[in-house]
Structure 1
Amino acid sequence: MKTIIVAVLASLCLSAPALANQGQPPAQQPPAKEMQIGVNSVYVPGGFDSNSDAFVIVNGIFPSGCYKWGRAEVSHTDAFHHEVKSIAQVSQGMCIMVLVPFQSEVRLGKFASGEHTLRFLNGDGTYIEKTLKIE
């Protein structure tokens, strides 16, 4: 009999917060912020020609579970020099504090034939520079 009473009381204690919020809209989380992140390595495949869309694979580590891949911004300083910024979506609120590896494909577009320099900016003044050959 005591175990039934304890079970009922425990069940009421656990469901009290859910009952208190009945009829109210769920709490709205603040919108995610965008933040420039660094990448640890870049894989540049070969075999691209001037008619194909070039791409690379970037790898890195997010500092917490609040981060997720957003997008990459590609800017062209001239016809053969390009800068890439990696942007993450950072949610506000509670998140797990562990390092989270990520990998993403970054589409660069069509390039002219020749050797292109790709600079991946990390947001802190450092960068990774790679070469992409277009046939």
Structure 2
Amino acid sequence: MKLFTTTLAALAIVASSTFAWASDDTVKEKEVTIGINDAFIPGGFDSESDAYVVVNGLFPNGCYSWNRADVTKDVEPNIHEVRSVATVRQTMCIMVLVPFTKELHLGQLDSGDHTIRFMNGDGTFIERTLHVEE
């Protein structure tokens, strides 16, 4: 009986510390560059309209959430780079692939063909062409 009481007390201590950790408000977060699976480039933009693209992909688990897209215009003439950034919470999360779809605004672009590079975290990229009419 004494062994049972000691074991029960030890389990209560472990459980209370686990619940205290789970309710801790200081969950660590970090930003990571994520890759995309595909990009949709609509047509019909002119030099006076705001261009946009639609990207989609999969987060590795439920700890990831969309943060922003960093757009670098004119890395070279008419070549633009887009980096998708997600926030990762260092906590318990569901371990399933989570799909995302986001519309990214590129702003006004000069007329002509523009190459959009969607950069992945490992240095590779997906490249698409966006045509802007006069």
TM-score normalised according to structure 1 size: 0.79
Of residues 109, 130, 133, the one that matches 2:128 is 130
Q: Structure 1 stretches of 5 or more lacking a match?
A: 1-12
Amino acid at match of 1:119: R
Residue 49 (structure 1) aligned with residue 61 (structure 2): no
Is 1:64 matched with 2:86?
no
Following TM superposition, by how much is the alpha carbon of 1:114 offset from its aligned partner in structure 2, in angstroms? 0.4
Return the alpha-carbon distance in structure 2 between the equivalents of residues 98 and 29 of structure 1. Answer: 24
Name structure 2 gaps, 5 residues minimum. 1-11
Q: What's the counterpart of residue 103 of structure 2?
A: 105
- CA displacement at 1:125 relative to structure 2: 1.9
Higher strand proportion (structure 1 or 2): 2
Q: Which amino acid aligns with 1:107?
A: H
Q: Which residue of 2 aligns with 1:40?
A: 37
User: SS at the partner of 2:61?
Assistant: coil
Q: Deviations over 1:63-122 (max 9, x none)?
A: 000001110000021340100000001111100110001100111111000000000001
* Structure 1 residue 62 displacement after superposition: 0.3
- Superposed displacement of residue 27, structure 1: 1.9
CA-CA distance at 1:29 after TM superposition:
3.0
Distance of 1:91 and 1:29 partners within structure 2: 10
For 1:71 and 1:79, the matched residues in 2 are separated by 24
Percent same amino acid at aligned positions?
55
The alpha carbon displacement at 1:123 in A equals 1.1
Specify the SS of the correspondent of 1:39.
coil
Letter in 2 for 1:37: I
What are the equivalent positions in structure 2 for 1:77-88 lying under 5 Å apart? 77-88=75-86
How many Å separate the matches in 2 of 1:63 and 1:71?
17
Contact 1:29–1:93 under 8 Å retained in 2: no
> Residue 124 of structure 1: SS of its match in structure 2?
coil
Number of equivalences: 115
How much is the aligned-residue C-alpha RMSD, in angstroms?
1.9
1-side partners of 2:88 and 2:121: how far apart? 15
